[in-house]
Chain A
Amino acid sequence: MSDTPVTKRKGSLLVQDARTIKRNRAEKRFQMYGIAAISIGMLMLVILLTTIIARGTGAFQQTFITLNVPLLAEKLDKKGNRDLADIKKVSTFGYAPLMQAAFEAKVAELGIETDLKPKKMAALLSKDAAAQLRNFVLENTDLIGETVEFQFLAQSRVDGYLKQRVTRDSIAKDKNINATQLDLVDALVASGHVVKKFNLDFIIGSDASDARPEAAGMGTAMMGSFFMMLVVLSLALPIGVAASIYLEEFAPKNWITDIIEVNISNLAAVPSIVFGILGLAVFINYMHLPNSAPLVGGLVLTLMTLPTIIITTRASLKSVPPSIRDAALGVGASKMQSVFHHVLPLAAPGILTGTIIGLAQALGETAPLLLIGMVGFIASNPPETIAEGLMSPNSAMPAQIYEWAKRADPAFYERAWGGIIILLVFLITMNAIAVLLRRRFERRW
């Protein structure tokens, strides 16, 4: 067909002809594309991580003010009988004068000159301080009448000032703090009574209202996430494994199982918000389970995680060579014995890996929780029993982050980033465990 006659190759192997050069260039180019793609990905990751760390680490530190508060008996225990019921009647508002007096005394003791009224001085403290003081008094009624040293949280503007988020320029129109108050803060920093230090309450504390962002913590949301994961693990793992063993080892291959198989794959691709609507309709409106309960959240996330677990479990069951089953059957084991004594243990690392990845995915899920009332101001006390933990309202870590990001006060913004760091630590740990399990136990045939 071709006009050109077949000719012998000219030149040598050492000198490349035009076509070889072209092909080699194409290959080089392709490699460059690949490197470019990887670098873009890496760059994005670096930008993401540096942003998160730069913005979030501040949340782990908080500003504290040290004060000596005289616990005046005539204010806190008017009847003088040290009866807990009577002491409880003094609300947090009743504690405010004590703190103002303590602040005034401290300023006088340090010889700081300021025009501020005691009320304005005490405004530097967090609104949480009164609650902290009241809880202390309720637990230590015998200390009423004495003077006790406390470390109170400072209000978020003071904290922002020490973290350089709030400047003297930015507070020009701010009614929460003024320049004279910042002068006092400067003087107290110099005398060591205002310090910035690690704040454990951010990790273990519970959410706080908009009036006191400095007191908000992830602890309650963490418990919520923990209980949800408990539900997911104890439902999704057995159901998922049972379903996949049946489908893989026992079920006949016919059109019904084909349909089931297709549906499971489709279910894995359903957007998570759909499961949220389902949860609202079925678990809350029909089954009358309580709103905002981690149990409902866990059930919804179970539905979401099941397909992932079934698919990975089936894949790891499939990867066990048939010769193992044949050998077990050959020495007289029943089908079930062959599965539970030989196939399942060999597939276990793969199943566990899939389960952990499914759990990690569920841990980071927010959308379905929006619909079942797990996003909002939820500052419940730590649950005492598992049942209470499952049934009493709670939030979850990603929901808490979403909630903080929505709030008006800029101090919550920092906490949202801090929350992301905590969540990422959990996710990275879970994925690392999955990788380790796979490395350590996975067998290849």
Chain B
Amino acid sequence: MNLLRDTIMNHFATNATLCGDCYPVAIPQILVPREQFDDIGWLMKDVGARLVAEWGVDETPLGRQYAVLACFARETEYLLLRCNIPHNDPTFPSLSKKLAPAFRFERQIMSLMGLTPTGHIHSDLRPWIKHEDWPVDAWPLRKSFAAGQRMPRVDGDYAWVRAEGEGVYEIPVGPVHAGIIEPGHFRFQAMGEDILNLEERLGYTHKGIEKRFEQLSWNDGAQLAGRTSGDSTVAHALTYCRALETLTGQSIPSRAAWLRAIMLELERIANHLGDVGAIANDAAFTFFFYQFMRLKELLLRINKRLFGHRYLMDLIVPGGIAVNPADEGTASLGRELTDLLKEFERIVNMYDLNASLDDRLRGTGILTAKTARELGTVGYVARASEQALDCRIQAPFSPYDRFPPHVVVLNSCDVHARAWVRIEEIRDSIRLIHELLATLPDGETVIMLTKVPPDCSSLAVVEGWRGEIVYWLQSGPQGEINRCAIRDPSSVNWLALEQAVHGNIVPDFPLCNKSFNQSYSGHDL
């Protein structure tokens, strides 16, 4: 159970220190010497741990300097490792030599916090999120950087990966691209119709969310968290609130916990319905698109009637939930979901039997199990590539400890698998909601939270519909928000899309992209 912690403690012995005031107690934070920070890369890789996230923090208000934290997970164990970094030498040894996903995390740490990874295997220090027309020394997450300032635009260039040779050409797409979709830039190197390489360039929707948190009260933070990625508003607000409730050491009324889980599952069903339809649409099958969109709309109307908002925004608040639906409402939810499931099964049956759809989806956009594991993918992207990851199982909280989901793991690793995992999850979420409704406790739905103590931190993970969402909160000297580090599932899964399209044809890119359907806003923050 404590394999990760023991591995680190055995290796570093007296050089590693267990930090205090880090919650929950089950997820310890260990300080290791900066010079040996990269040791944790191979130590963790050898025991089969996954790099969950890596981020920087400026602890100047707390009388310390900078720090870099890395979060690892293996089965049900999560572990935080940190190294302290002095102001006069803002560098740290890179983890990317052993861990591929560290690559983008560290580019982001360097761009936004100004801490330089050293010994980087690819020496790729191109900025990430921060575009080339920002001043080089603008590091917004540092405390010395004023959040409200307007930065001048400077001349700069981005060194794209290039392919050369006879018949090789380049297709730049975006940031404003076809369809009603978030902005991002994709650059394909192609030969004929085959994709040789895809390079993503994101950051267009960077709104300074992490910095914004530092100006808000803990209560208002929940609203901002709910707008990190609008389609995952329940999951993000829930993760934030769970981290906050861990800081104050309070547990919420069980009715609130049950209803939060019901909302999380409703959000999962609604988004999966839309996605399965959209995947069929990108294979030119509008019939399924409209059928699934119709079901999604029915569900949004149920949300509106029962909870008062079509996407359940601002309903998860610190200490519980903002509504308390009447018994008639929750009873009708069960009936309506049963009807919806019947309709759903009828359509899925046709979807499954459709040979031309099958032909487009199977074998397209393969993300091998090995790549999925090495890149630390999460959510349905991981589960469609043989990774049994679902933090409702690995990091359960009430009521998931009593009502675990059936985790669906497929091994065909293609667009079909990513669609089918969603279909199975819709069924399972409806089953879960029925079980939760049958045992829904009575009583209050919200409690007052006590004041957050100064200088402590907490980590929370929640399985949103895209996968594992991570929030790390740290309080400042007056108990205010000093840092809110967010890792949306998209931060790791975007890496996998680049790998999955290799060898596919350019016209299949929309299909591959839709089967991943990662968030731009949640990634760019």
Instruction: Tell me, yes or no, whether A binds B.
Output: no
Instruction: Give me the interface of A with B, judged by CB distance under 8 Å.
Output: none
Q: Which residues of B contact A (CB under 8 A)?
A: none
